[in-house]
A and B are shown apart, each in its own frame.
Chain A
Amino acid sequence: MPVLELANISKHFGAIQAVNDVSFTLEAGQVVGLMGDNGAGKSTLVKMIAGNFRPSHGAMRMDGRELVLHKPAEARQHGIEIVHQDLALCNNLTAAANVYLGRELRRGIGPFRILDYGAMYKRAGQLFAELKSETRPRDLVKQMSGGQRQAVAIARTMLSQAKIVLMDEPTAAISVRQVAEVLNLIRHLRDQGIAVVLISHRMPDVFDVADRVIVMRRGRKVADKDIAASSPEEVTGLITGAIEQAA
């Protein structure tokens, strides 16, 4: 059974049809590359899964049950985590503080609860070790490399039992060595049985790490196939419209 199923999802803003009748499924432990030109509807689609927007038409089902999301916090409760394009990190805080931002651990009773620094450093350290990233929980994020910053943002998604992780352009604007690091982080999430949606403009990254590729053009899904059955040339053609619809 798929983790998440989108059935005939559409979204329009006034007269603009951002997403038009899109259906697909996400399987556990699978990386899906979501590609398309600017304005193709990728971000709108992902924002509906993340609870930022509600679909105008169509339905989402998680583990076979109807899923209606009103706000991002509800998506999080259902195990849907998102890594934002700008990573949403606070430079003035430590790595551990960023991992736990918005869901800080506290100890004590009632109104006298204080931040549990020890537990947060410890758990954050474990997550970085799991991700095989040389990131120290006590270091400030402003001193970190692009790869380490990605590790902090990804560690956030592992705090609770995530089922789906949505990643918005995680490899844009970082160095070649750090791209390899981030792709390893994505493989690590997949190995834990998490469904990963990777939005990217970078063809090599998608063909390197994804199991399946979905291509969007002008709000419609024009391809949804195994990566092995496709090629960068075909995907480029689908993105630009040189190929109308995948075979």
Chain B
Amino acid sequence: MAVTLDQTIAHKQHTFLSRLLSSQTFWVVIAVILACLFLSFATDAFATSKNLFNITRNVTFVAIVALGMTFVIITGGIDLSVGSVLCLCSMVLAVTMHAGYGIGTGIAASLLTALIIGAFNGILIAYLGFPPFVVTLGMLSIARSLAMVASNNTVVFQFGPDHDKLLALGGGAWLFGIANPVLYTIVLALITGFVLRWTKFGRHIFAIGGNEHAATLTGVPVRQIKVAVYMISALSAGIAGIIQTGWLGAVTTNIGTGMELQVIAATVIGGANLAGGVGTAFGAIVGAALIEVIRNSLGLLGINAFWQGAFIGGAILLAVLFDRARNFRRSD
């Protein structure tokens, strides 16, 4: 039987199953599930509601920032300043509330700080052509320094008249005993997934990561979009900072130190490509979950905590190995 041109064009090359099996995110999910099953049998402490509550909550801070980072990484950029921005935003919130302002004012000041920093990074990168690595490395240093200036390098643990509201915001569990930060993460992940898949903005982000020159030639507003993604990244760090402040009940100038590397690790484990053009919201969450499960399990299994870095690093390499193996097969 002859195959007509129309049939060829209408043919779908990839079934749902083949796409699933070739996705790095899918295999990381399998790894997380297997690790959880193994830990439930191997230890008594893992599958307790208290431990699960802890794990899910600990995942959230890295996960929320990883969602913002996903936007940046898809465009082919990188944001090293997120840990410091998280610290600065926490400190702005803490200092504002400590001075007697309400929680609304504190959050507004904190998020505004995040947006200004994101816009600053984005404008240097998109309009003045600075390399993202350099700009955000500079901001890593600047933002933490500003946090020290704002607080005079003290610990803030009294948040004025709305003290209890802030602690409830970060430390409570308003729905079915699920920690609040987990609820925020789910909502933010759904928004991120929607934006990436269903909006023109999301499509253009992928186009910039795939071929920035082509995006420019076809009329995509490349510069504006690049500024927007760095603002989103900084905003996600600000949101995570507010929630973490509420959960910890105190802010020091060293929170979020080294967090940028964990966040980047989470997005890469979840399938994002640092060369740009690839990444998902779900991948960022799963990557963050795998890191947290590894960390939690090492403690429960009684393995020396110094091994943590080796295991997380191994997970990064293993996840990327899947991707390479797939590409080797294709290029043969």
Q: Which of B56-64, B199-207, B290-298 contacts A (4 or more CB under 8 A)?
A: B199-207
Distance of A84 Cα from B216 Cα, bound (Å): 12
Residue of A nearest to B217 (CB): A88
Residue of A nearest to B194 (CB): A114
Known: A106-B200, A114-B199. A88 touches B9 (CB 8 A): no
Say whether B2 faces chain A, with CB atoms less than 8 Å apart: no
Select which of A91, A137, A156 is within 8 A of B211 by beta carbon: A91
Tell me if B200 and A115 are in contact (CB < 8 A): yes
| Complex contacts, B199 vs chain A, CB 8 Å | 114-115
Say whether A103 faces chain B, with CB atoms less than 8 Å apart: yes
Tell me if B13 and A86 are in contact (CB < 8 A): no
Tell me if A90 and B200 are in contact (CB < 8 A): no
Say whether B11 faces chain A, with CB atoms less than 8 Å apart: yes
- Residues 187-235 of B at the A interface (beta carbon under 8 Å): 197-200, 203, 206-207, 209-211, 213-215, 217-220
| Complex contacts, B14 vs chain A, CB 8 Å | 138
Tell me if A92 and B210 are in contact (CB < 8 A): yes
Select which of A72, A89, A135, A156 is within 8 A of B9 by beta carbon: A135
Say whether B152 faces chain A, with CB atoms less than 8 Å apart: no
Say whether B238 faces chain A, with CB atoms less than 8 Å apart: no
Say whether A244 faces chain B, with CB atoms less than 8 Å apart: no
| Complex contacts, B119 vs chain A, CB 8 Å | none
Tell me if A84 and B8 are in contact (CB < 8 A): no
Say whether A134 faces chain B, with CB atoms less than 8 Å apart: yes
**Chain B interface, number of residues (Cβ within 8 angstroms):** 28
A233 to chain B, nearest CB (A): 36
Select which of A104, A137, A138, A139 is within 8 A of B200 by beta carbon: A104
Tell me if B207 and A125 are in contact (CB < 8 A): no
Tell me if B198 and A93 are in contact (CB < 8 A): no
| Complex contacts, B305 vs chain A, CB 8 Å | none
Say whether A129 faces chain B, with CB atoms less than 8 Å apart: yes
Known: A88-B213, A91-B277, A103-B219. A129 touches B200 (CB 8 A): no
| Complex contacts, B200 vs chain A, CB 8 Å | 104, 106, 113, 115
B323 to chain A, nearest CB (A): 13
Distance of A125 Cα from B215 Cα, bound (Å): 22
Tell me if A90 and B210 are in contact (CB < 8 A): yes
A105 to chain B, nearest CB (A): 10
Tell me if A92 and B218 are in contact (CB < 8 A): no
| Complex contacts, B210 vs chain A, CB 8 Å | 90-93
Select which of A102, A138, A156 is within 8 A of B13 by beta carbon: A138
Select which of A89, A103, A137 is within 8 A of B214 by beta carbon: A89
| Complex contacts, A86 vs chain B, CB 8 Å | 213-214
Say whether B325 faces chain A, with CB atoms less than 8 Å apart: no
Distance of A89 Cα from B200 Cα, bound (Å): 17
Contact with B along A135-169 (1 / 0, CB 8 A): 11111000000000000000010000000000000
| Complex contacts, B217 vs chain A, CB 8 Å | 72, 84, 88
Given contacts A89-B214, A101-B214, 17 further A-B contacts (CB under 8 A): A86-B213, A87-B214, A88-B213, A88-B214, A88-B218, A90-B207, A90-B277, A91-B211, A92-B209, A97-B203, A101-B203, A101-B207, A106-B200, A115-B198, A132-B5, A138-B14, A156-B218
**Can you give 29 A-B contacts (C-beta < 8 A)?**
A73-B219, A84-B217, A88-B211, A88-B214, A88-B218, A90-B206, A90-B214, A91-B210, A92-B206, A93-B203, A93-B206, A101-B203, A101-B207, A101-B215, A101-B218, A102-B218, A102-B219, A103-B219, A115-B197, A115-B200, A125-B10, A128-B9, A134-B8, A135-B9, A136-B8, A136-B10, A136-B13, A138-B13, A138-B14
B interface residues, Cβ below 8 angstroms from A = 5-6, 8-14, 197-200, 203, 206-207, 209-211, 213-215, 217-220, 277-278
